[in-house]
Amino acid sequence: MRIDVVTIFPEMFEAPLSLSLLGRAIDNGLLDVDVTNLRDFALDRHGTVDDAPFGGGPGMVMRCEPMFAAIESLRDRNSLERVILMSPRGRRLDQEIVSELAAQPDLVLVCPRYEGVDERVSRALCTDEISIGDYVLSGGELPALVVIDAISRMIPGIVGDWESVTTDSFYTGILGPPQYTRPAVFRDLEVPAVLREGNHAAIARWRRKEALRITRERRPDLLEFCSDDDRALLAEIEAESRGVASGINKENKT
């Protein structure tokens, strides 16, 4: 897969793209990420890519001419079928969108700065706008890195054990289960016995149930489309929750 990034701060991508899974994926040819410096397409020798907004107001707006030139320069190595503007007004990134983008042969990620880009860039060049959350950052570079990292995990061969991807939060629509490692006991805190007994069916059931329990507590909105098996586990969790609450109430009355 190929990802092109358009930014005025290419240096922000150097370390993240050279380390850990992303670095290995790029070195092994599983992922090709190329960063284009928007200032190379500026209209003057000073590298100016912004100007004051029409109609007045604070801040500066990224001009359309350098942006059009930068994106169109990628045409010989990118289909430009998915040109994504990182924007707080875009679709909020989730695992469904990540999976959709990971299935593409190539993408362009556009990183705005200042008050944003000239609207003509969004209308005429960009096919999507994506947000990574309901807050505002200084620019689109960090969101672009989030998108690249999330997509990379969906490309076969990048994560060594595919099961570690399929058990991630959101992959199956809910949050992930608790995880434990050695030692079995630390400061009187014990690893659940089921995880140490080697019964793989029991472990799988425990993990799914605990994942549902955490999702029920923290993101109940994700439980809308549960399977029949999940609903049965949720009924158990509800019964256990009522039992605990009943026990607490009895203690409070004594």
Active site residues: 88, 115, 153, 168
Whole-angstrom Cα distance, residue 49 to residue 54? 15
Does the CA dihedral 72-78-83-87 come out positive or negative? negative
Question: What's the token pair of residue 111?
Answer: 């990183």
End-to-end alpha-carbon separation of the chain, Å? 65
In which element (H, E) is residue 71 found? Answer: helix 64-72
Give the CA distances from residue 218 to residues 46, 73, 211, 223, 225, in Å, rounded to whole numbers and listed in that order: 50, 45, 11, 11, 16
- Cβ proximity of 213 and 244 under 8 Å: no
**Among 72, 107, 110, 74, CA closest to 90:** 110
Neighbours of 246 (CB within 10 A): 10
Whole-angstrom Cα distance, residue 64 to residue 187? 60
- Cβ proximity of 138 and 33 under 8 Å: no
